[in-house]
Amino acid sequence: MEEGYIKLFRKILKSPIFKNEKALKIWVWCLCKATYTEREHLVGQQIVHLKEGQFVFGRKTASDELDMNESTVYKYMKVLEKLKMCNIKSNNKFSVVTIENWQEYQIQEFKNNSKNDNKRTTKEHKQEYKEIYLYYLNKYKSENLKTFFEKMKFLRKIKEEERYKELSLEDEKELTNIILSEN
């Protein structure tokens, strides 16, 4: 899985792992290893179902890829778990690591075929607005709302959030139109 990209937010500068190069290296490696879509992974003769933000972890493979000894990798993985950055579920052959809050930080790009897309360009909006917009759009998609009333309740709820208030008026209107017009 060496294609695509991950998002690395600037707030990592204030994270406790930023001051420790080994912890930071392992954290970025974890983000890169995590799957961005549900899939099945074969480990030996066992099929492992991985959800977004998960990956199969083995100390030996991690040690080789990170060029660190196995015990160091294991200790820092446990530190990441204590910091609630990931969750590790182990059995006697391998572990499945889940990146906490994966969806909140690794938002998939949403491509809209509406007329409004032609008006929106990267130069017109700051990256922060785009991330907030995509966050709410993906949050809406994950809720799987069907009725008009469910959609209106969702809109009322997100409009109360501080993050939503940072959106431009144009983005607010576009987001509302998309939510209310989808079937």
For 51-65, how does the pLDDT look when each residue is reduced to its tens digit (9 = 90+)? 999 999 999 999 999
* C-alpha triplet 55, 61, 66: angle, nearest 5°: 95
Q: Which two tokens stand for residue 161?
A: 């959030």
Domain 10-103 coded CATH 1.10.10.10: yes
* SS3 category, 6: coil
pLDDT confidence of residue 129: 66
Separation CA 88–CA 90 (nearest Å): 6
Q: What is the mean pLDDT of the chain?
A: 83
> Can you give the residue ranges of every domain in the chain?
10-103, 107-181
Q: Which two tokens stand for residue 60?
A: 């030996």
pLDDT value at 45 more than 90: no
Cβ pair 136, 173 in contact under 8 A: no
Which is higher by pLDDT, 79 or 11? 79
Instruction: Tell me the pTM.
Output: 0.59
Q: Identify which of 112, 128, 122 has the alpha carbon closest to the alpha carbon of residue 174.
A: 112
* SS3 category, 143: helix
